[in-house]
Amino acid sequence: MLISTLIRDLAKELSPLIGSDRPSASPGRVGIFISIKTAAELVGMSPQTIRSWIKTGDLEGFRVKNGPWRVDRDQLIDLVQPVRKSTPGGAA
């Protein structure tokens, strides 16, 4: 089973907690922000991996005052989508 299918299934299960019933990302739309713990559970990684992605700039994270770190759910899901391997002829 592809990781993207697993992520979609997990996102459906977590939708009441993370608000996936909201429209997808578009210009001018406020993102759906989730905690590092929820982000890690959503993609099956450790919270330390999520923090590492924030530190290296692969994932944007932010804090308001001294509150917990938050990440944009849609950006996280885009980050973990599998990349198709190209064939020697260049086709995907």
Give pLDDT, residue 37.
95
**Structure confidence at residue 71 (pLDDT):** 94
- pLDDT of res. 6: 65
Q: Could you give all domains of the chain from N- to C-terminal order, each with its CATH number?
A: 3-20+29-79 (1.10.1660)
Tens digit of pLDDT for each residue in 6-46? 666 666 665 555 544 444 444 555 678 999 999 999 999 99
- Angle between helix axes 47-56 and 36-43 (nearest 10 degrees) is 110
Q: Output the pLDDT for position 65.
A: 86
Q: Is 73 exposed, middle or buried (0-12, 13-18, 19+ CB in 10 A)?
A: buried
Whole-number average pLDDT of the chain: 77
Q: Model pTM?
A: 0.59
